Amino acid sequence: MEKPVIGIIGGKGKMGKYFTEFFERNGYSVIISDKQTKLTNRQVAKKADVVIISVPIDKTEEVIREVAPHIKKSGLLMDLTSFKVFPMEAMKKTKASYLGCHPLFGPTAPIEGQLAILCPGKGKKWFNWLKDLLAKNKVIVRELPAKKHDEFMAYIQALTHFSDIALVDALRKSKIPIQKFISYESPVYRLELDMIGRILNQDPNLYANIQIQNPSSSKVIKSFIKSCEELAKTIDQKNIKGNTDIFKKCAKYLDGFCKTAMEESDKLLSYLNLIPELPTTSDKPKGDIAVLGPKNTYSDMALKNYRPKIKPDYVSSIAEVFELIKKGKVKEGLVPIENSLTGSVRETLDELYHNNIWIEKVISQPIHLALVGIKKVPLSKIQIIYSHPQPLLQSRGFINKHIAKAARIPVASTVAALERVAREKREDSVAIASPFAAKIHGLTVIQDSIEDNKSNTTYFAVLKGNEKSQLKNVVNPPRREKCRKTSIAFNFDKDSPGSLYSVLQSFADNKVNMTKIESRPNSKIPGEYVFYIDFEGNINKPNVKKALGQIKRKVAKLKVLGCY
């Protein structure tokens, strides 16, 4: 079919502009109407093949009734509102095809990987056209009847916004300035405030309409208030058992999502440099070595190959591995430090530089990746790919060649990806993970060995604490006669021409062979860079000692990360 002309009523609004740009990027001609535009709503309705209503919720039904009689019989009428029952009821007046579209994202988000819900109305040809166009742009498309859509949105949107606004209103009524709360925040509380602040930074009329206009909202909100009252009653009565019973029922309802949520939020907290304190309910370690979990990740597989009998303490982030060692709760840790295809793991480098923890040994783990789903399906049917960012990078050649249209959704681990696919039970959703872990989760390998390089290998650092890793202590370092490689990191007081060259000259003058050099921004000091160097040689050897002594005098801080 020839490319239709797109007409957007409300084309000067935020979402109107967003979808104008979207259709133009895809090669469509777009006309718009809005306040003070040359074309009126009716003129756009008559000229366009596809008419999209992108106006405030409380104006949507009125505008649909205005333009519905003027749309071509061969055309399409659709809306972008957060509800679907009342606008689609109004659309029935048109002779054209019609459908409901709800983009579950705002005008600041890139469209790739976002979710859009399509509600069928009349006309399968246009429905498939829009579905295919969105999928081509890597949008995740879900289909729902209008009534079911509104029921879900009452919980997903109306209830969420209601509880967020009520929480801040309670803070406001305390008459304590928000800055006071922020100054004593926990990482999780800060994340919660960030999400609520994001909502309250937007149009209040939009969020009022989302809560008020949905016919299912009132019932859902009343149910929420009842739950609040039941929970509050346990507090008034100091009923610990009643309170914990509700807590346990809620945790049971969330089922496996609790673990996934913990991993994903830990990843986000780590990224934001808001590392939560470890639980203090018990000082006893759960294992002998801290390793990135959950069970059956590549980190876990590397540990089993390295020391199969050791008891692992599975944690959710690289930062937590370092924290456990630093606090003496475990003696060792295992973290990924480099991949043969994608390079160094930045979180590990940052933590090594800022903590008194030593690389004891580096081990290798071959990485073989599989495309995994609930059943075998043609690759053309796949819409969503879940995995840790590293496997997504390590198989991007396969993805770009065979399933380029699929949205790529990064998650905390390959196991989290498998759990998500197993939980969603959708044929069009897959994970990239190890074939071994896939079988354990009861999933099917759709295609094995999808890594771009069959020699793909990840290197893991075995970590220990209580080592003297500052250079001043390296004069009498731990006796490691067998270690052949050393890693160091350093930074300069200020940038000046020739500083790095001078450091490299010390390696050359002392006949020390470097194998790697890279730099990263200092995660603690904005504007400062840290240089990381690997070289051949034992820190006990005279030429290495001499080179490091010279370098120490040329830099602001020098740290030996390990000799192994």
Nearest Cα to 469, choosing from 536, 399, 559, 338? 559
In a domain, 525, yes or no: yes
Q: Count of CB atoms within 10 A of residue 131's CB? A: 18
Range with top average pLDDT, 60-64, 387-391, 536-540: 60-64
CATH number at residue 222: 1.10.3660.10
Per residue in 127-158, pLDDT (tens digit) is 999 999 998 888 889 999 999 999 999 999 99
In a domain, 503, yes or no: yes
By the 8 A CB rule, do 279 and 325 touch?
no
Per residue in 485-497, pLDDT (tens digit) is 999 999 998 777 8
- Indicate the residue among 254, 280, 295 that finishes a domain: 254
Residue 167 and residue 117 share a domain: no
In a domain, 208, yes or no: yes
Residues 6+ apart with CB under 8 A from 459: 336, 337, 338, 339, 340, 362, 363, 364, 365
- Indicate the residue among 450, 480, 496 that finishes a domain: 450
In a domain, 291, yes or no: no
**pLDDT, the chain, mean:** 89
pTM: 0.63
Q: Is the pLDDT of residue 460 over 60?
A: yes
In a domain, 353, yes or no: no
Rg (CA), the chain: 29
Q: What is the mean pLDDT of residues 334-349?
A: 91
In a domain, 346, yes or no: no
Rounded to an integer, what distance in angstroms lies between the CA atom of residue 262 and that of residue 281? 17
Q: Which domain holds residue 61?
A: 6-144
**pLDDT over 70 percentage in the chain:** 94
Per residue in 204-238, pLDDT (tens digit) is 998 999 999 999 999 999 999 999 999 999 999 99
Residues 6+ apart with CB under 8 A from 192: none
Q: How confident is the model at residue 272 (pLDDT cuts 50, 70, 90)?
A: low
In a domain, 456, yes or no: no
Q: What is the mean pLDDT of residues 97-126?
A: 93
pLDDT at 282: 44
Residue 212 and residue 246 share a domain: yes
Q: How confident is the model at residue 560 (pLDDT cuts 50, 70, 90)?
A: very high
Rounded to an integer, what distance in angstroms lies between the CA atom of residue 454 and that of residue 372? 18
Number of domains forming the structure of the chain: 4
Q: How confident is the model at residue 454 (pLDDT cuts 50, 70, 90)?
A: confident
199, amino acid identity: I
Per residue in 496-538, pLDDT (tens digit) is 788 999 999 999 999 999 999 999 998 788 778 999 999 999 9
Q: 15-21 contacts: CB < 8 A, separation 24 or more? A: 15/54, 15/80, 15/103, 15/106, 15/107, 16/54, 17/107, 18/107, 19/52, 19/54, 19/80
CATH number at residue 139: 3.40.50.720
- Indicate the residue among 124, 144, 164 that finishes a domain: 144
DSSP assignment of 489-528 equals EEE-SS--TTHHHHHHHHHHHTT--EEEEEEEE-SSSTT-
Rounded to an integer, what distance in angstroms lies between the CA atom of residue 64 and that of residue 51? 10
pLDDT at 12: 94
Q: How confident is the model at residue 191 (pLDDT cuts 50, 70, 90)?
A: confident
By the 8 A CB rule, do 153 and 103 touch?
no
